[in-house]
Amino acid sequence: MSLVDPALSKNADAVFQDVPVKSRPVVWGLGLAAAAAWIAAAAVIELWPETIPQPYGRELAVISLVIALALILVAVTGRLLGAIATTVRYYGAWAIAAALGLVIWEVVTAKTGLLPVPFFSSPQSILEVFLDDWIRLGTSVSYSVVLLAKGYFFGALTGFIIGVTIGWSQAASYWVHPVLRIIGPLPATAWLPLAFFIFPTSGSASVFLIALATAFPVTILTWSGIASVNRDYYDIARTLGAKPAFLILKVAIPAALPHVFVGLFMGLGTSFAVLVVAEMLGVKAGLGWYLQWAQGWAAYNNMYAALLVMALMCSTLITVLFRVRDWTLSWQKGLVRW
């Protein structure tokens, strides 16, 4: 399985195909410029004295050099590395910007102390968290993934069923719609006191809150998708002898899937926000718990590391959901981008 997005690789190839042959060395030179930027970052980290001694400074410099060597390899091998090389070259400008950002971050924290410690952490201190506290952080990530998966699954399933029901049945819409208009707009976190009182454990209460945050956007968008299906599709299917079950499963739901996936995207974002809040209350592991623990001990480097992990985790989950959408709705691939 390729690690490179085929669509991105195709777009990048198109970019390079439009570049004249004589100008392509300039494009490939972008990779060498990025490598030079990372070498400069390694030099700043290693050679510039620190105002406050920082752990793992040499390790950070070595990581920068490894990135530089990888960029040099990509730049000098031409297209031999295929889609990976094309993608790296496509993001060459971003590689330069990342190196520059690392240098600025390093200078204003570890080298000059312009940003006060401990409220602002240096790159070395963030690396220290990943190297020294990876067991606690990894355990928190695993707990969060399991909790999010449970809540998101039940919320998405419930929202999908309710959305299909009220989109298909006028009677169901009559009775359920007013309830949705009252309960739906309320933030899921507003139900925290009641949820922790009703449910026997904090874990089950957290699952309920995440499911509640997910269900509302999925319900509304699924309902909208079912209601917007062209009535001619139903008429044609009925003339061919289709039963109501066939109309729902083979006509209404497939036609509403683009709306359903929009609801799933929105539900994932809201569920992730609720996850962090729910894990701050009554649980013994999870990214929300980790953030609260770090704040309690003024371990701001741990807090920043957890925020970075959360950002990567959320971005990865949304990317996976987009891959599922592109696979399911192949005729709409590329219509919605992430």
pLDDT of res. 8: 43
pLDDT of res. 189: 82
Q: Is 121 within a domain?
A: no
Q: Are residues 64 and 169 in the same domain?
A: no
Q: Is 126 within a domain?
A: no
Least confident of 15-29, 126-140, 273-287: 15-29
Q: Tell me, what DSSP letter sits at residue 271?
A: H
Q: Are residues 249 and 156 in the same domain?
A: yes
Top pLDDT among 190 and 104 is at 104
In contact, 219 and 186? CB cutoff 8 Å: no
Domain end among 49, 82, 115:
115
Q: Are residues 109 and 154 in the same domain?
A: no
Q: Is 125 within a domain?
A: no
The residue range of the domain holding 328 is 134-332
Residue 5 has pLDDT above 50, yes or no: no
pLDDT of res. 17: 45
Q: Are residues 278 and 305 in the same domain?
A: yes
Q: Are residues 85 and 214 in the same domain?
A: no
Which of 100, 112, 103, 127 minimizes the C-alpha distance to 50? 112
pLDDT of res. 337: 66
Q: Is 127 within a domain?
A: no
Give the number of domains in the chain: 2
Q: Are residues 188 and 274 in the same domain?
A: yes
pLDDT of res. 21: 40
Query: How far is residue 188 from each of residues 10, 200, 216, 247, 273, measured CA to CA in Å?
Result: 41, 18, 10, 34, 10
What's the mean pLDDT in 262-284? 85
Q: Are residues 69 and 141 in the same domain?
A: no
